[in-house]
C-alpha cells in the first residue's frame, strides 16, 4: 500500500506539472523563434517534458487520469491505510495484554519461565 501511495503521489505531482506548463508548451509550439522561446522558458519546458515522459512511462497507452480521479484514489488508499493501521494497533495491544496475562499466571503458579531479553546482548570473554 505504501508503494501504491508513493506511485500515486508521483503521478499527482507530474500531472500537476503537466497541467501547469501545458499552456507554455503550446506557446512554444506556436512560436516562430523556438530557440529564443526555449531560452526564456527553459524551466517550464523542462518540467513539462519530464512530466510527459514520466506519465507516459506510468500509463503507457492508457489515457491520463484526471486530477480528480487521482485525488479520489489517494483518499481511498489513505482510508484503507488508516483502517489497517487501527486494526494493527488493536492486535498489537491485544498481544501485549495476553503476554502480560501469561506472565502473571506464570508468577501465580510459581513457574519461572526464562526471561526474554530482546535488546541486550551478553558478551563473554
Q: What is the pLDDT of residue 110?
A: 84
pLDDT of residue 121: 56
Q: What confidence tier does 7 reach under pLDDT thresholds 50, 70, 90?
A: confident
Q: pLDDT tens digits, residue range 19-61?
A: 999 999 998 888 888 889 888 888 999 999 999 888 888 887 8
18: cell is 503537466
* pLDDT value at 117 more than 60: no
- State in Å, rounded, how far the first CA of the chain is from the last one: 47
**Predicted pLDDT of residue 63:** 84
Per-residue pLDDT band for 66 (boundaries 50, 70, 90) equals confident
Q: Is 93 left (phi over 0), alpha (psi -120 to 50) or beta?
A: alpha
Task: Kindly calculate the radius of gyration of the chain based on its CA atoms and give it in whole angstroms.
Answer: 28
User: Dihedral through CA 109, CA 110, CA 114, CA 115, nearest 10?
Assistant: 90
pLDDT at 57: 86
pLDDT band at 81 (very low <50, low <70, confident <90, very high): very high
Residue ranges in 1-125 assigned as alpha helix (H): 2-30, 34-40, 42-59, 67-109
**Cα–Cα distance, 33 to 114 (Å, whole number):** 81
Residue 111: what pLDDT?
Answer: 79
Q: Read off the pLDDT band of 94 (50, 70, 90).
A: very high
Amino acid at each position: 500500500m505504501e508503494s501504491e501511495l508513493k506511485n500515486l503521489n508521483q503521478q499527482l505531482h507530474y500531472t500537476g506539472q503537466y497541467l501547469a506548463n501545458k499552456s507554455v508548451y503550446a506557446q512554444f509550439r506556436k512560436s516562430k523563434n523556438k530557440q529564443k522561446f526555449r531560452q526564456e522558458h527553459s524551466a517550464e519546458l523542462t518540467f513539462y517534458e519530464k512530466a510527459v515522459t514520466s506519465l507516459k512511462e506510468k500509463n503507457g497507452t492508457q489515457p491520463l487520469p484526471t486530477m480528480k480521479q487521482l485525488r479520489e484514489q489517494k483518499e481511498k488508499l489513505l482510508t484503507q491505510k488508516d483502517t489497517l493501521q487501527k486494526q494493527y494497533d488493536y492486535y498489537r495491544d491485544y498481544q501485549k495484554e495476553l503476554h502480560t496475562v501469561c506472565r502473571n499466571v506464570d508468577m501465580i503458579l510459581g513457574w519461572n519461565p526464562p526471561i526474554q531479553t530482546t535488546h541486550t546482548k551478553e558478551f563473554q570473554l
